[in-house]
Amino acid sequence: MIPDWLTLPSRPLDEVARLAARQRQAQLTKPPGSLGQLEELACFLAAAQGRERPHMKQVWISIFAGDHGITAENISAFPQAVTGEMIKNFARGGAAISVLARTLGASLEVIDLGTVQNLTQVPGVHHLGLGPGTANFLYEPAMTEAQCHAALGAGRDRVEAALQASADLFIGGEMGIGNTTSATAMACVLLDLPPQQLAGPGTGLATAGVSHKIEIIAQSLLKHERALTSPYAILKYLGGFEIAALTGAYCTAAQRGLPVLVDGFISSVAALAAERMNPGVARWFLYGHRSAEPGHQAILEALDARPLLSLGLRLGEGSGAASAIPLLRLACALHEGMATFAEAAVSEKL
């Protein structure tokens, strides 16, 4: 059963602050609307922060990592060991997200929800020990009820930590070899689309590998058909620890009024699951980028999302969201720093 806290209503956005921000945008020295999505970003952040002039100083990034039993079916271009190896790389500061976080002055933490390797000796990582990865969902539910609840709760706890640290924005990243198979299977049920339409190369499968991945997903969907009756069941049967943690984090962020910048394909499936479990939470979501994973487009459309970047990224680990942070900062700086028509003695539109 879905935990009660997950479906508590989200906080309303501050429409008075949004209106004040819109009115300010209309007075700035530019043709109205000419800064496009940068204007909308400033107004959204005003509504989220409850102030006419928002800022984007403290960015919080939580990377959720977990292993996937479905890797036994050879559905990834990389071996399962990479999940644990990359957790160490995150902790040492050598991953793409490590560099992005340092460059942005963002705080970065790594949460090992459960992997085949024992990483408890790795310093600088939160270890939750939910198990040696999920079960192989070709044969059994990916998660037990207890694991699914614990993973959702882990996401909630990291958002609470972000709030404690006065974060202005939450980014959830993920790492888990095999998780595009998991996310694609979830998306097929959430969107009622066949795997042929949503499956892609993930970390780099060739055409034959993608065909095999499609076959594994199709068989798994058939196996669990009768159980997949709710978004929560879809998560528990087909999801991953890190996907559940993202889902819990996104719901909590909306409930507590912390805006979210969603990353790529896997994160967006978690965002869609969150919105289906608790309709309205997506009002608190921005989308960093359109991933090169082909199924991302359908997920973005279902969320009515307008991603900020389209750079052909398909890395995950929060990298696409982090790459869009400079745009959020520029949107705030323009909103705050531009002169009005009156201040600059510039003539307004006729």
Ligand X SMILES: Cc1cc2nc[nH]c2cc1C
Ligand Y SMILES: O=C(O)c1ccc[n+]([C@@H]2O[C@H](COP(=O)([O-])O)[C@@H](O)[C@H]2O)c1
Chain positions contacting ligand Y, by CB under 6 A: 76-78, 174-181, 202-203, 263-266, 291, 293, 314-317
Under 8 Å between Cβ of 70 and 181: yes
Q: By the criterion CB under 6 A, which residues form the site for ligand X? A: 78, 82, 86, 175, 203, 315-317
DSSP 309: B
d(CA 214, CA 75) in angstroms, rounded, equals: 9
Name the binder of 168 from ligand Y, ligand X, none, CB < 5-8 A by kind. Answer: none
Q: Answer left, alpha or beta for residue 204, where phi above 0 means left and psi between -120 and 50 means alpha.
A: left
272 vs 266: CA distance, rounded Å: 10
Choose between 27 and 203: whose C-beta lies nearer to ligand X: 203
Q: How far is the CB of 148 from ligand Y (least distance, A)?
A: 19
Q: How far is the CB of 79 from ligand X (least distance, A)?
A: 9
Cβ neighbours, 10 Å, residue 218? 16
8 A C-beta contact, residue 60 and residue 162: yes
Residue nearest to ligand X (CB): 78
Select the binding partner of residue 47 from ligand Y, ligand X, none (C-beta < 5 to 8 A, by kind).
none
Measured distance CA(289)–CA(201) in Å, rounded: 18
**Closer Cβ to ligand X, 6 or 315, answer by number:** 315
The one of ligand X, ligand Y, none whose footprint includes residue 323, by CB under 5 to 8 A per kind, is none
Compare residues 49 and 181 and give the one whose CB is closer to ligand Y.
181
Q: Which is the catalytic residue, given 317, 336, 343, 348?
A: 317
Q: Are 328 and 41 in contact (CB under 8 A)?
A: yes
Look up 140 and say whether it is catalytic.
no
Q: Which does 147 bind (CB under 5 to 8 A by kind): ligand X, ligand Y, none?
A: none
46 is written with which tokens?
Answer: 């005003």
Distance in Å, CB of 85 to ligand X, minimum: 8
Per-residue CA distances from 68 to 56, 76, 114, 258, 338 (Å): 35, 11, 9, 29, 49
Least distance in angstroms from the C-beta of 84 to ligand X: 12
Measured from the CB atom, the residue of 150 and 315 that comes closer to ligand X is 315
Binding partner of residue 10 among ligand Y, ligand X, none, CB cut-off 5 to 8 Å per kind: none
236 vs 296 by CB, closer to ligand Y: 296
Residues with Cβ within 8 Å of 333's Cβ and at least 6 positions away in sequence, in order, are: none
Give min distance, CB of 318 to ligand Y, in A: 9
Q: Which residues form the catalytic set?
A: 317
